Structure 1
Amino acid sequence: MRDLRDTPANRTKAAANLSGLSWRLVVTRAVICWERLWRTFWPVAAAWGIYLAAGLFDIWTVLPYGLHLAAFLALTGFSGWWIWHGRGALHWPAAHAAARRLERENGLANQPLAVLEDRLSLNAADPVARQLWELHVNRNLAAIKRLRLPLPRPGLVDRDRFGLRMLAAIMLVAAGFAAGPDGPGRLSQFVLPLPHVTAAVPLQIEAWVTAPEYTGAPPLFLAGSAANLLVDDGRTPAAHKVPVNSILSVRTYGDGQAPHIVYRADPAGAAIAEKPEREIDLTAVDRRNFAADLPLPYAGVAELRHGFGQVAQWPFGIIPDTPPEIRFAAEPSVTMQQALDIRFAFADDYGVSAAWAEFTPEGDLSALGDSDPDQSDGALLRLPLSLAAPGQKKGQQQVIEDLTAHPWAGLPVRLRLVARDAAGQTGFSASVPLTLPQRIFENPLARALIEQRRKLILGTGENATVITALDALSLFPDLFIDDLRIYIGLRVARYRLAEMRDQRAAAQDVGELLWELALRLEDGDVSLAADELRSLQKALREALSNGAPDTEIAALMSQLREAINRFFQAMVDQAIEDAQEGMSPPMQNPDAEQLETADLQALLDKIEQLGKAGAREAAQNLLNELQSILENMQMSFGGDQGGQDTAYTQALDELADVMRAQQALQDKTYQQSPSGQQGEGTPAPGGSPSLSEQQKALRGQLDTLMRQLGAAQGEVPKPLERAGKAMEDAAAALGSGERKAALDQQVEAMEQLRDGAEAIARAIAEEQEGGEGEFSDSEDPLGRQLPAGQRERGGQDAVPEEFDVERALELRQELERRAGERRRPVEELDYIDRLLDLF
């Protein structure tokens, strides 16, 4: 029962409750408890703080699941071990300990809080003693009312000298700010590394198709999420057409469960049994991100499945990559310098990466020995064919190669052309028979050296015999050898053949030396200079094809000019020497060589200018023309060639005048103010005809041209008739002041005039191919020389000789100026943009 007597103890307890000491003691005991726990278990808290901060920073998403699980288990084990060893701190502090803490915090001496627990034991019945006791208690109670609560003092400065607890706190605060609204989700996702506790995240999908690099096709983006990848009514979406062997790339972001792709062949295709169904799992990039790349070798449907359902479907149609095509553009021929001239045409859907010629000897090969260093892949002789640019889709090219030094020179062979595309597919031309060009030597010593060279190259084991022959040929140099260089070369060949241990290498090396000596004996430095020219032309062609810098192009052009000068000088020296020996010199006209040199120098200038202007393909065409001229130099010493213009050619010249006048009139119409202040249908000041009258005059000029062309050839190209109708409508619009309508008709007239010019040019080409024209197949429709490699194409890529590079640059600047005038008609601006693309 509760003691309700009016005793001193009851009065003391009541006073204590009134003073608020009880709750102060509870708070103090809590402070002491927290100090004990923090002092004992702060390493556990710091470790968990760092772990949670890593979760808020989303670090666990980029680490493997096994590492996350290992960190969690290690932290859990460490925490359990530490708590077990520090379990002594896990008890509630006693009341007297809290009282002593309060007394120390407030500086109270003599333990005044102990009064609450004391009892008056002696003289309790004495009124004086009881009154003194109550006075003592009241004084202590008055001090207790002013007690301050203690602040926590864990005293970790000595225990945590490196401040790890502060590091964990800073990391946790920073991670909370970095996570933002995603913080709770990240903690729920990664506090426990178990798949079944991950939060539900909508599956996000990114998919695209990357075509093989050689196709030049842009990537095809398929989706951004799973919501728009399936057709609601179950219909199969339209197939995406992609090149064969494209790569389907899929990236997903979701709930941590790996999707997978199933690729099924198109049932409509053939040989389904050879195209089995394929299934691949997406590879985990991290906990939520997955990725996969799937080749597409045949048509089919790719299905992306997640869990137990299909979330996306992409049908694909395959664009096949056909093998390249290559053919002879003309029968292989032999130049005046005995070089083989091969002209070929090629085509491929994505571009030809390489081409070469294969020679196969006809008949018994036993006499040739094992002497072919070019034998590979079953091709006994492979000759690389240079292309204007690797990856070119179609075109024609010319290759001139000197094979007279080859052991098969003079033998019948079969020639086949081979082209290869970037995918590794090859195409072949028809095989043609021919006899490899052979150099005929007139000089007796040269013939003897060639005979010894043949023995060495054929590998018949007659090196000793060749050494004896070289000794005999150099026995009396004063009688048989006029050039000291020939004698020194013979002796070098003799001792090199005798001293080299590798007899095969010696035979090859000495064979090349004997060939050079024979050429020098036969025609001085002409053949050697021609070989140097061919090497430089090949290097320049490769530099243009590979996009070499302008400095390299300029250096090669400088070397080529010097080599041409040496070649010409060698020809002159040889001609003088032949004349002194009683032979007729190749040049009858003393001015012919100077004129030809000037033409070639102009051609060299144009090649260099085109290379600097970026027109590399046109520069290569002119380089082919240069090589043809040099290889057939003796043909340039003859008389002039000429021809008469046909009716088509005259019409083409007159049509060019009409087009220039029409373009000028169109510019005037555009510059005319919209208000017609200068008068469109009325004569201009000064008595000059109005724009409408000028347009009518051009229409009459075109009518006269069409009548002349019709009388000569029987028909007029349809585009010219349409151009006349557009001119008539433009004149009417100008007369009525309808400036915009007039401009539209003038643009249409220019387009039709260009089409008419192309039709006339095609007619000229057909006339020449049919043998009815008067031009040779080495000239264009206007009688100009076509570059080598373009003569079979009707001159469509030939460089017009009436315009030099400076004129071309001026035209480009003018087109750029007009393209900047955005008030021009849309049709004209589009046409100007197409013209600029050609530059």
Structure 2
Amino acid sequence: YLPEEIFDSQKAYLTTRSVIRRLEINAKTPLTDKMRDELAEALWKAALQLEDGDLADAEARLKRAQERLSEAIKNGATEEEIAKLAEDMRRAMRDYMEKLAREAEQNPDQQQSQDGEQQEITQEQLQEMLDRIQDLMREGRTEEAQALLEQLSEMMRNMQMAQRQQGEGQGQGQQAMRDLQETLRQQQGLSDEAFKRLQEQFNSQRQQGQNGQQGQQQPGQQGQQGNQGEQGQPGGEGNQNGNDQPRALSDRELAERQEALRDMLESQRNGLPDAGNPEGRAARDALERAERSMGDAGRSLDKGDISQALNEQSDALDALREGIESLGQEMARNQSDNMGRQGDQAGRPDPNSERDPLGRQAGSVGRLGSDENLLNGKDPYLRSRELLDEIRRRTGEKSRPKIELEYLERLLDRF
């Protein structure tokens, strides 16, 4: 089958594919209770995404409902049509807010980083605005209803934009971090299995050497040793292959698991958000190196060269750790940048909100401002020194009017 014919959600597809990969990797060993619960929860989330859609689907439905209601108001639709479309928009808005709240529960860190203005907008307030729109339409005040609907739509767009900006970087980054940490854990486990296989090979070679020495003994001694070996061998195999010491995986099984891990890492790397800073690019470069080392290790395992495979697996682990560390730095930097932008926007007044009678933007603490850049690219400290010198020069010119000299002296006192 073709995945795109079944999965209309890329997130659900990637989640299901990741679960399948993990099952393939652990096909030869029983699942732990913890891993079973994790895989079941991941599949359940994927099923919900396929059945109900995600936040983007709810956002699209809300947008369509807004457009239909706006068009009906413009065209002078009947009260019954307006009521029906308003109810459609009410349901779409309720569905969107529920999915927004669900996503906030799943990503509490992301929710805490959002600005306070967005959190103050509640579903009840939006519903009240929609009720007011219907009241205005019943009263025949279509222009006011249209303006209020546009205001409601603008509020929803701002909320969606803020959610998207937070989710694209942090939500995807946090999930990618968890996936990469799981890949690191599984790679460490596979390296342990490879080392166990190397020990098995060493013990087998040592046993063969001992058997060769026994073959050079006298026939009577050889027979005696042979009888002892026949009596003791089953117990020895029981210790090696029993529950305390499970059988080591074969070279081929190790190679298959290594290749599956490499494929999973490649899928995770391709699903990372676009790198926008040096830390992000460093993370992707490190993950590419890990993929190459994993591929080399898989080929060495397939050839039975366990020692070489262990060296290559060690390189893969180092590159994976480096990639995870760089990805964490990228996420921290993106979060810091987002908080800085939000702080700037929160502290910067609307340029059109406060104007003096001459149309100039008001300055801070009630002072008059200016729309012009007075520095013109100069060093601010040098420019302030030049201004101060000019004020002092003019203050020394006693021929200037008294009122001007008093003003200049007040400026000097302030500086």
Above 0.5 in TM-score?
A: no
Greater strand content: 1
Structure whose CA Rg is larger: 1
TM-score (norm 2): 0.30
Instruction: Identify the structure with bigger relative contact order (alpha carbons < 8 Å, sequence gap 6+).
Output: 2
TM-score (norm 1): 0.16
